[in-house]
Chains A and B, each alone.
Chain A
Amino acid sequence: MKNQINTIPEKINESDFVFERPSFLSKIFNLKMVLNTASVLSLFVIWGLLVNFGIYRFVLIPGPAEVLEWGIKWMGSKDFWMDASLSTLRVLGGFTFACLIAIPTGLMIGWNKIFSDLTFPTLEILRPIPGIAYIPIAILFFPWEEASVAFICFVGAFFPILLNTITGVKLIDRDYFRAAQCLGSKPRHIFWHIVVPGALPSISTGAALGMGIAWMASVAGEMISGKWGLGYRIWEAYTLIRYPLIVDGMIVIGLLGLGSSTLIRFITLRLIPWRKAITESLDESITK
């Protein structure tokens, strides 16, 4: 036994240390890729078949081919670019305002007990009111339609960002504060060097979540009060019986929403390279 343990192989083969690289073909044709493509394809195939054979009321729903045809036509026209850019601007406007107000308020609420007592109960009362319910008030208050849609986006994005910022500050390890105080930091140093960077991962999650809800709110706002924009276009397509255009609009809204959320994650990951792993897990846990 002793011999066996202590034996040193007389000759070390180089091949013992070289792992065989997976070939290009096996990278593509493994189980995962095959099933994933099957999944995506089956979505379109089932949709096409249901429409084609007109099961139940699927006769009324446009099929994939029609949608593609109308989509290409729509993309070529000036309307599309107008709609997409106006919707994006409204969402961005509302979202930027929400960030500008929610992040500082959230940081202060998480950090300062007195400020928290003074503001948080009011915000907690306002929070359960869904953004859509603000539409009548927004129409009443803003004479300008752009502003009323942007306001609804603002309300939608505000609370996810605020709550995630507060949680972010609350999750910071107490030891950092104590260490900073031992080393003689002033409150403003603690704020800029501990509270802000410590809450960033959570803020990033909240911002991505808020962006998604802002897109949703913008669609509702445009459907009810608007002249341009993707939500308005969907509703117009419905009233003018251009049904394939509805599906095109839905797809464009989905893509834009996904794109902007991904962009936010990408930017914020640049800001917080040290907590990459943690943000990713937080993302999955908090986002829908």
Chain B
Amino acid sequence: MSASTLNTTSNLWKQVRKTVANWTTVRRIMSVLLFLLAWTILVQFTGQFHQIPTPAAVFAALFQLKLGVIFTEIFRSFVRVLCGFLLGLLIGFPIGVAIGYSRIANYLLFPAVEMVRPIPPIAWIPLTVLFFINIESQIVFLTFYGAFFPIVYNTMGGISEVDIRLPRAAMSFGINRMGMLWKIILPAAMPQIFTGMKVAIGITWLMVVAAEMIASKGGLGYWVWYHHTVMEYPMVILGMGIIGLCGALCSVGIDVIGSHFMKWRNIF
């Protein structure tokens, strides 16, 4: 009895050794530690970097955060990002499907989309400020514009790269046009559509930060800019970290939703 439990515990230990407590993990932790060390040394001992706060100062600033304030800012930015992203998905996804699936729609829509695409979303800021009165709708429009093109292009590309044997097989079983779209084309294009969404949410966060820095109506971007103007630099770095964390959270969220939609990926 005792021998068997010993055996299982040692097995468990072996498992742990194999997956968690090995050299790879040590090196990974060392990577982050080395980065922090290099940061501290550069700031402390070189003249060029002296204005940038040390990691210790940033860590100390973490305890000065007013939780209520920071959570309202995070909430505001999140709402703007999600509104813009969902609008982009609602408008961009059907357009992408139309361009990818129908030849006529491709001829009609694609050149117009291709002409507007190279203009970076940030260059739209002045016109947006001119056009929309409400500041919220300005920011949401900019995030929408950032999300729109990645979604359209990846949906289109995903559909045009579906293995031609799948639609042919479905056709020989006598599928109609709608069934072909919903049962064959869209599931096959799903991985790339989700890649597009991940790119889109990255650009959406970028846009929200830029728009908030200029609009100065709350949000994380404004928070960072405000602390820059009052020279509380540790807070600026903390704000950058929080923005990065939110962006990473959104991209992980899209991965989770994607794996729910593409369960067949786990099987093959």
A: which residues have CB within 8 A of B?
31-32, 35-36, 38-40, 42-43, 57-58, 60-61, 113-114, 117-122, 125-137, 139-141, 212, 215-216, 219-220, 223-224, 231, 234-235, 237-238, 243, 246-247, 249-251, 253-255, 257-258, 281, 284-288
Contacts and interface: CB of A to CB of B under 8 A. Distances in A.
Nearest to A288: B150
A219 to B, nearest CB: 5
A120 B108 contact: no
B241 interface: yes
A111 B24 CA distance: 15
Q: Does more than half of chain A's interface fall in helix, strand or loop, or is it mixed?
A: helix
Nearest to A33: B107
Contacts of B119: 250-251, 253-254
Nearest to B148: A288
Given A61-B130, A120-B31, A250-B119, A137 B237 contact: yes
Interface string B20-41: 0001100111111011000000
A40 B122 contact: no
B236 interface: yes
Interface stretch (B8-16, B63-71, B220-228): B220-228
Q: Which 7 A-B pairs have the closest CB atoms?
A: A35-B107, A216-B120, A117-B27, A136-B228, A238-B126, A129-B244, A254-B118
Q: Does more than half of chain B's interface fall in helix, strand or loop, or is it mixed?
A: helix
Contacts of B121: 216
B89 interface: no
Contacts of B28: 117, 120-121
Given A128-B247, A140-B51, A285-B161, A223 B125 contact: yes
B164 interface: no
Contacts of B29: 121
A60 B129 CA distance: 11
Contacts of A38: 108
A277 to B, nearest CB: 12
B199 A35 contact: no
Contacts of A250: 119, 123-124, 127
Contact of A237 (B126, B202, B213, B221): B126
B162 interface: no
Contacts of B115: 40, 43
Interface stretch (B173-181, B204-212, B253-261): B204-212
B153 A257 contact: no
Nearest to A287: B153
Contacts of B209: 130, 132-133
Interface string B85-120: 000000000000000000010011111100111111
Nearest to A283: B157
Contacts of B56: none
Contacts of B132: 57
Interface string B116-156: 11111111111101111100000000000000011001100
Contacts of A287: 153
Nearest to B196: A288
B153 A234 contact: no
B49 A130 contact: no
B219 interface: no
Contacts of A285: 154, 157-158, 161, 192, 195
B153 A224 contact: no
Contacts of B161: 281, 284-285
